[in-house]
Amino acid sequence: MENCIGTVPIHLKMTLTTKEAAEYSNIGINKIDSMLRTPNCPFVLFVGTKKLVKRKEIEQFISEKLMI
């Protein structure tokens, strides 16, 4: 049996990189990064020093905002 690890579609991932989050949300990478640096950001997940974006939380955050 062959071990085949494929890529998971963005809409099925629990967490996204900043590049994936920018692509998914159509918000620039720099803006996503600055949002992740804000204190008590509800959609950041730290894995060591790496910052990941919680997909469902950023979806909810964006849906509640009129302007970012």
**Over the stretch 22-47, which tens digit does the pLDDT of each residue have?**
999 999 999 999 999 999 999 999 99
Cα-Cα-Cα-Cα torsion 5, 9, 12, 18, nearest 10 degrees, comes to: 100
Q: What is the largest CA-CA distance in the chain?
A: 50
With a pLDDT cut of 90, the percent of the chain lying above it is: 78
| Averaged pLDDT score across all residues of the chain | 91
Number of domains in the chain: 1
pTM here? 0.84
Is residue 51 in a domain? yes
Is residue 4 in a domain? no
Is residue 31 in a domain? yes
Q: What is the CATH number of the domain that holds 52?
A: 3.90.105
**Domain span holding position 30:** 12-65
